[in-house]
């Protein structure tokens, strides 16, 4: 069995009986235990996933199986699954058991996917390296002295190594696309509002989106197909029809207009990354796409705007962890005040505390106008830049990350360096547009380099089509 095969290529063999879901789950479980040192999972559903696989095998046999029958999925530990622990990578939720299923979980379950476990992540999805987890850092699958990217570190590593067919991550400022780029797989952040956030533990509610990691664009499209759509439990999920993504993949880019934002290809861009991207751009050109240089003039403000707005929202969302209702309560507390202070001080990690303080500061009266309101205005300007660009082009091509996978510990003492790593990804979240990372090549050390495709709001179909084309024309 090829453990790294895509769902699209093995699912046919499940139907003919040459392979079983149980066999595949068993193979993934053995990789999970063989590569435990990567620290990709926080909980593994050993018996339960095998049991479920046997049930799906029976459904496949009698012809009643759903559209993702036998796809094996790992879930970022920020999504609620009824009866399961949801830690969010934090000590404060170490024992928190979810009392309901997230909408995405319910939908995938109904499509007959199998869940294999919950994955490691930066605490409350705050980070770009996977090192901020209270349960230890996740390691890069090719070089264990390096980071796999974050915050959806475990979900990415699970798919890159053959511990699952696909996985769910969340992307508030790049947390699906950046690790996908660093580990050489596909990661898709849908349009804000495309996928219901019901049952996703909130970090920054106006940015967060759930999306898939997969080994092929087609597999990512299949997952999106199932999880997309309006949900009455999330008022920000959009009333927008969901097209048939796979049949929309024409394997052609002829006549398309593809934009290159000049601010993303400045002299500061690493030369190896530039060379890898240029090859892909040449491929698109020779297949009949028109490559157009465009400008996103407010690009230089994206990091500042993101880290003001996302921390502001986080400081408010994380106020609920107070030791009273659920989660960790300090045994040291003597009265109400000390219970709040001690539970939060002992329960949250350094980066989360830094964000709560930053967010509280930018929202405080006296600073609100100078920081929060200003950043909201800048967000609008960034959105306008994209609206203007998409009048002239169908999608954009950009780098995904300023470097390939960096060393563990390299940026941990310098938060600003860590934040700057998100320079190419946060704009999609500020603008609410869809973005996808696909493998583009490797650097001189054999580490993966990704390429990012950005689309118009609710036009995942176009970037999926271009991504599928690039993946199949090598």
- Give residues in contact with ligand GLN (CB under 6 A): 125-128, 151, 170-175, 203, 310, 422
DSSP 8-state secondary structure symbol assigned to residue 4: T
CB of 306 vs ligand GLN, minimal distance in Å: 7
76 given a catalytic annotation:
yes
CB of 135 vs ligand GLN, minimal distance in Å: 17
Q: Which one, 294 or 426, has the nearer CB to ligand GLN? A: 426
151 given a catalytic annotation:
yes
DSSP 8-state secondary structure symbol assigned to residue 455: E
Select which of 175, 315, 401, 427 is catalytic.
Answer: 175
Paired residues of 293 in beta bridges: 260
Q: Which one, 209 or 225, has the nearer CB to ligand GLN? A: 209
Q: Which residue has the tokens 């493998």?
A: 439
CB of 383 vs ligand GLN, minimal distance in Å: 18
CB of 172 vs ligand GLN, minimal distance in Å: 4
Select which of 6, 151, 153, 315 is catalytic.
Answer: 151
Q: Which one, 131 or 422, has the nearer CB to ligand GLN? A: 422
CB of 307 vs ligand GLN, minimal distance in Å: 7
> What is the spatial distance between Cα 285 and Cα 267, in angstroms, rounded to a whole number?
22
Q: Which one, 38 or 200, has the nearer CB to ligand GLN? A: 200
DSSP 8-state secondary structure symbol assigned to residue 116: E
How far is the CA of 404 from the CAs of 161, 178, 449, in angstroms? 18, 10, 6
CB of 128 vs ligand GLN, minimal distance in Å: 4
Q: Which one, 140 or 280, has the nearer CB to ligand GLN? A: 140
Using alpha carbons, select from 378, 365, 366 the residue that is nearest to residue 308.
378
Q: Judge if the upstream peptide bond of residue 151 is cis by omega within 30 degrees of 0.
A: yes
CB of 112 vs ligand GLN, minimal distance in Å: 29
> What is the spatial distance between Cα 330 and Cα 321, in angstroms, rounded to a whole number?
12
133 given a catalytic annotation:
no
CB of 131 vs ligand GLN, minimal distance in Å: 11
CB of 355 vs ligand GLN, minimal distance in Å: 8
How far is the CA of 208 from the CAs of 389, 393, 428, in angstroms? 23, 26, 11
- What's phi and psi for 12, nearest 5 deg? -60, -40
Residues 222, 70: contact at Cβ < 8 Å?
no
> What is the spatial distance between Cα 396 and Cα 86, in angstroms, rounded to a whole number?
36
Q: Which one, 14 or 305, has the nearer CB to ligand GLN? A: 305
Residues 177, 425: contact at Cβ < 8 Å?
yes
Using alpha carbons, select from 36, 314, 365, 32 the residue that is nearest to residue 373.
365
Q: Are strands 114-119 and 41-44 parallel, antiparallel or unpaired?
A: antiparallel
Q: Which one, 173 or 467, has the nearer CB to ligand GLN? A: 173
Nearby residues of 402 by Cβ (< 8 Å), 6 or more positions away: 269, 270, 273, 420, 421, 423, 424
361: exposed, middle or buried (C-beta count within 10 Å: 0-12, 13-18, 19+)? middle
324-333 long-range Cβ contacts below 8 angstroms, 24+ apart:
326/93, 326/96, 327/92, 327/93, 327/96, 328/91, 328/92, 328/93, 328/94, 328/95
372-378 long-range Cβ contacts below 8 angstroms, 24+ apart:
372/308, 372/309, 372/312, 374/308, 375/304, 375/305, 375/308, 375/309, 375/312, 376/309, 378/298, 378/301, 378/304, 378/305
In the chain, how many H helices and how many E strands?
15, 11
Select which of 6, 11, 76, 106 is catalytic.
Answer: 76
> What is the spatial distance between Cα 373 and Cα 379, in angstroms, rounded to a whole number?
10
Question: Residues with catalytic annotation?
Answer: 76, 151, 175
């Amino acid at each position: 069995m090829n453990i790294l095969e895509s769902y699209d290529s093995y699912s046919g063999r499940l139907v003919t009986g040459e392979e079983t879901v149980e066999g595949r789950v068993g193979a993934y479980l053995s990789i999970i235990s063989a590569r435990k040192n990567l620290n990709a999972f926080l909980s593994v559903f050993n018996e339960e996933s095998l049991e479920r696989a046997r049930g799906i095998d029976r459904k496949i046999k009698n012809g009643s199986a759903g559209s993702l029958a036998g796809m094996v999925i790992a879930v970022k530990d920020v999504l609620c699954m009824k009866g399961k622990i949801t830690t969010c990578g934090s000590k404060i939720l170490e024992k928190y058991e979810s009392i309901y299923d997230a909408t995405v979980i319910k939908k995938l379950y109904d499509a007959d996917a199998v869940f294999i476990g919950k994955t490691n992540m930066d605490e409350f999805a705050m980070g770009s390296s996977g090192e901020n987890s209270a349960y230890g850092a996740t390691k890069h699958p090719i070089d264990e002295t390096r980071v796999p990217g974050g915050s959806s570190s475990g979900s990415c590593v699970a798919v890159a190594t053959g511990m699952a067919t696909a996985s769910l991550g969340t992307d508030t400022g790049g947390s699906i696309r950046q690790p996908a780029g660093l580990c050489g797989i596909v990661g898709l952040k849908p349009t804000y509002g495309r996928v219901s956030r019901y049952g996703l533990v909130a970090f920054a509610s106006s940015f967060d989106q759930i999306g898939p990691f997969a080994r092929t664009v087609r597999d990512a499209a299949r997952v999106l197909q199932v999880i997309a759509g309006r949900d009455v439990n999330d008022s920000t999920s959009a009333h927008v029809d969901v097209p048939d993504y796979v049949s929309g993949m024409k394997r052609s880019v002829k006549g398309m207009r593809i934009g290159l934002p000049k601010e993303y290809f400045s002299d500061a861009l690493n030369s190896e990354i530039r060379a890898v991207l240029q090859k892909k751009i040449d491929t698109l050109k020779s297949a009949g796409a028109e490559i157009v240089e465009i400008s996103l003039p407010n690009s230089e403000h994206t990091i500042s705007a993101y880290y003001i707005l996302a921390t502001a929202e986080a400081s408010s969302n994380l106020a609920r962890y107070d030791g009273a209702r659920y989660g960790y309560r300090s045994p040291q507390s003597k009265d109400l005040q000390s219970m709040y202070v001690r539970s939060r001080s002992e329960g949250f990690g350094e980066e989360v505390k830094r964000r709560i303080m930053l967010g509280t500061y930018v929202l405080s009266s006296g600073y609100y106008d100078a920081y929060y309101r200003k950043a909201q205005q800048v967000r609008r300007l960034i959105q306008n830049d994209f609206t203007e660009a998409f009048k002239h082009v169908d999608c954009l091509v950009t780098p995904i990350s300023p470097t390939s996978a960096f060393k563990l510990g390299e940026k941990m003492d310098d938060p600003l360096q860590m934040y700057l790593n998100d320079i190419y990804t946060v704009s999609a979240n500020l603008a609410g547009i869809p973005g996808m990372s696909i493998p583009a090549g490797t650097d001189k050390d054999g580490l993966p380099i990704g390429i990012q495709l950005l689309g118009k709001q609710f036009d995942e179909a176009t970037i999926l089509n271009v991504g599928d084309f690039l993946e199949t024309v090598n």
